Structure formats: C-alpha cells, structure tokens
Structure 1
C-alpha cells in the first residue's frame, strides 16, 4: 500500500524550506535594512536579482551548447541535464527576495560547485538510471554487438501523400 501522508523524514526538509528559511531571510533583511537603510536594501536585492539573472542566462546557454555537442557525438548529456536542473534551482533562488537565497543561488552559478553537485546528484540516481537504460538496451539491441550511433538507423522506404 502506498503512503499518502508524508513521513516524518520527508517533513523535516519541508519544514526547513518553508518555515525556517523565510524566518532567517527576514532576520537578515531586517538587520541589513537597519544598518544601510530600507531603500539601499531594496536596491541591493534588485541588483543581485539582475546580476544573477544575467549570469544565469550565460551559464544556461553554455550548458545547453555542451548538451547539444554531447548529443551530436551520440552521447547522453546526463551531466549537462543535472547542471541544467541546478541552474533552474539557482534561478529560483536568485529571484526569491533575500540575501541567504541569493548566496545559495550565486554558489550554484559557480561552475566547479555546480559540476560537483551535479556529479553527486548523478551518483545518487545512477543505479536507477543505469539499470533502466541497460535493461532497455539489452532487450532492444541484444543481437547487435555495437551500440547504434545517430545516422546508422534502418532505412524505411515508402510513399506518402499530403492531405490538407
């Protein structure tokens, strides 16, 4: 039977994300606002969002280009997909008002940090991904000794007619 209610193990990260993080963000915003002023605090939040989105766009395009190159070579862009997920998370963190989320978002924009986190995400899910891919591969290509590459597919001849 499948559980519908969250377990206590899955409730703890949600508690941290939705209750503790906003409380910490408010405390930091109040402290910064009392130190440099409310208008400067808003300006700083707005500036970090603009800088973060511009960096995110560049990093995202770079990751997309690497994924396209990997697919053109016939490989699976697993690393690039994991980094793309982390870039989406970084974008969400950078657009969330607050300094703590901005720090986390900017940290994910660092290629070394993001690459290491992507590798750890891939290791965590590697068993599921490899088993599913290997099983499908062996069932559909058991007679072939080499894996297929793009452009090496079977040619299917036929006629077609366009109907509007």
Structure 2
C-alpha cells in the first residue's frame, strides 16, 4: 500500500519532468501544441465512446468465442481518452499502450468444464426426475373485470 502511495505522489513530478525534458528537446511551442492535441484527442475519444457501446456486449457474447478484452474495449477507449486528456508524456504512453489490440483469453477457455456424466446413466446432480400434473383454476366468467 505504501508503494502505491509513493508512486501516486511521484507521478505528477514525473509528468512535469517529462514535459520539461520534451520542451528542452523540441521547444516550448511544439510542447504546448502536443499538449493541446492530446487533450483534444482525449476529449473526442471520451465523447465518442458512449454508454451505447457498452450495451453491445450482449450482442458480442452471442457471436460465440470472443476475447474478454474485446468485451472491455469500450471501457479501454474511455480510459485511454482520460489518459490522453491528462497533460503529460507518461499518461500519453499509457494511453497508447492501452489502445494496442491485444488478444486476451477467449471466453470459452474461461468457462469451467462441465462435470462428466455419472456411470449409472443418470445425468448428474442438478436434474430431479419426477412427474407433474398441471392444475388450472376455473374462473367464473361473471367475476372478471372486463
């Protein structure tokens, strides 16, 4: 926990140091232009990844074997847009890494295997065999509301 807090406190100083180093290397005007470009790019990415893209997860699941990272793609785009909107080179590099098209594990590999059938021919522990009879109540037509 302490390491996380130290990294969290050092992050702004690392961003400032990277911006000063960039300004020293390419100039202040180009650095400001880079910052404006990345902020506008981040805002545009966040505006275009709306909640409707998250609702496509259901349709993606119906297609069969799909990568778990593909399901989380709208969330990745939103987080990358947020990282682009934060001024600094470190956050830009993290956003670019987040936008790489990684192939993750497929959902078929993540589903636990089903138990094998029992040797005596029964299907398993979740099935209860039995008989039923449907019993409907008879309703007087005069007692209906319509």
TM tier, shorter chain? 0.5 to 0.7
Larger radius of gyration: 2
Q: What's the Cα RMSD here?
A: 3.8
Name stretches of at least 5 consecutive residues in structure 1 with no aligned partner. Answer: 1-9, 131-141, 145-164
- TM-score (normalizing by structure 2): 0.54
* TM-score, structure 1 as length reference: 0.49
Alignment of 1:19-58 (within 5 A): 19-54=9-44
Helix, strand or coil: the match of 1:104? helix
Instruction: Identify the structure with the greater helix proportion.
Output: 1
What number of residue pairs does the alignment pair up?
110
State how far apart, in whole Å, the 2-side matches of 1:48 and 1:30 are. Answer: 16
Mapping for residues 95-110 of structure 1, pairs under 5 Å: 95-110=85-100
Q: 1:87 to 1:105 in 2, by over 3 A?
A: same
Structure 2 residue runs without a partner (length 5+): 113-125, 129-146
- Which has the higher relative contact order, 1 or 2, with Cα contacts under 8 A spaced 6 or more apart? 2
Indicate yes or no: 2:16 matched with 1:11. no
Query: In structure 2, what is the Cα distance between the partners aligned to 1:98 and 1:87?
Result: 18
CA contact (8 A) 2:49 2:78 kept: no
